[in-house]
Amino acid sequence: MAIIYRTNILCSSQDMLWGTLGTVRPFSNFHPDRDAVAIQAAVDSKDTVTLVRILTNRNNAQRQVIAQTFEELTHKDLASSLKKCLSGDVETLLLSLLVPPVPYEAQRLQQAMAGLGTDEEALMEILCTRSGKQLEEIKAVYKELYKKDLAKELKGETSGDFEKLVLALLNKGNVAGVVQKDIELLSASLNGKKAEAGPWIDILTSRDSDHLNNVLMGLEMETGQTLEHILEKRFTGDFRLGLSILVQCIENPAAFLAKRLSTMKTPVVHGIMVSHSEEDLLCIRVAFLKLTGTSLYSALQKHFKQDHLQALLAICRSED
């Protein structure tokens, strides 16, 4: 039996209920046997339109039931069957929709570390926009899928202060702090010839976002400098990139994800839209429009085409 994983994602500074701000909702007139039969016919006739229509109009839990029903009816694996009749970007996207949420995040982390070089932005995106509880689930599933310890894998792909930041995020907690004391600690860390990374890592990975927003605003008032200026002038390399992403996610995670989407790079678009389709993609759509002056729906139409575009538009859902 397929395992159905469920997660709750942070939107702004509050824990949102599952599906509250997602674009993909449970299909109300759900009949998995009908869907399985229709998918089998579509696979046989290479009818991509039908495959896109069904898989983008069911939520992930329903897709797991469809996959199980498909296997019971046909004695074939749904993902393997799709691979035989699809290709390119639409294949990648529809196969991603079949992966349960937690394994999908584990898969994205693995892909960010695969091959030559590491995709630091992808790593930070996932680590910064997931709660400590969610990351515990991702760690467990990562070990199950890849027979490797995620912390050790991340340690092997990073170094120095950036490594410390990544590992602290992976094991993030929620420790109570005093706003003024945290402001003073961060301010003092900037006084030496070389800024101290330790207080930034300790504080920014162990407090809730409301507390941290107060701390960061207070730090700007204390120093008379913007955070962007502080990070740019006092830190370097991957650690500066990591801190910058973390700060953006503390201040407005939807705005950071919208900024990532605006690159219109296919792996980035797939990752964010699939991961957030049932969680907070509506938040991200609003942030995208504010950032770019163009709706996400329209931007997708300018950069993608054919069945791949139709699948992305179906996940996006509507014009803003």
pLDDT band at 18 (very low <50, low <70, confident <90, very high): very low
- Spell 184-196 as b/e; 16+ CB within 10 A means b: ebbeebbeeeebb
pLDDT digits (tens, 9 = 90+) for 44-57: 999 999 999 999 99
Please answer whether residues 277 and 312 qualify as being in contact, where contact means their C-beta atoms are separated by less than 8 angstroms: no
Give how far Cα 271 sits from Cα of 38, 48, 64, 188, 262, Å. Answer: 27, 21, 19, 38, 13
- Residue 8 is predicted with a pLDDT of 31
Select 253-316's CATH number: 1.10.220.10, 3.40.50.800, 3.40.50.1400, 1.10.600.10.
Answer: 1.10.220.10
User: 119, 138 in Cβ contact below 8 A?
Assistant: no
Per-residue pLDDT tens for 223-255?
A: 999 999 999 999 999 999 999 999 999 999 999
- What are the domain boundaries of the chain? 32-98, 101-171, 179-251, 253-316
Tokens of 219: 């730090």
Q: Which fold has domain 101-171?
A: Annexin V; domain 1 (1.10.220)
Confidence of residue 4 (pLDDT cuts 50, 70, 90): very low
Beta strand pairing call for 14-15 and 10-11: antiparallel
User: At the top level of CATH, which class does the domain 179-251 belong to?
Assistant: mainly alpha
Q: Which residues contact 37 (CB under 8 A, 6 or more apart)?
A: 73
- Say yes or no: do domains 32-98 and 253-316 share a fold: yes
Q: Which of 104-108, 192-196, 213-217, 231-235 has the lowest mean pLDDT?
A: 192-196
- Measure CA of the first residue to CA of the last residue in the chain; give whole Å: 39
User: What confidence score (pLDDT) does residue 174 get?
Assistant: 85
pLDDT of residue 212: 97
Q: What CATH architecture applies to the domain 32-98?
A: Orthogonal Bundle (1.10)
Residue 15 has what pLDDT? 38
CA distance 231 to 215: 15
Helix (H, G, I), strand (E, B) or coil at 234: helix
Under 8 Å CB-to-CB from 75, ≥6 apart: which residues? Answer: none
Q: What is the pLDDT of residues 88-145, one digit of tens each?
A: 999 999 999 999 999 999 999 999 999 878 999 999 999 999 999 999 999 999 999 9
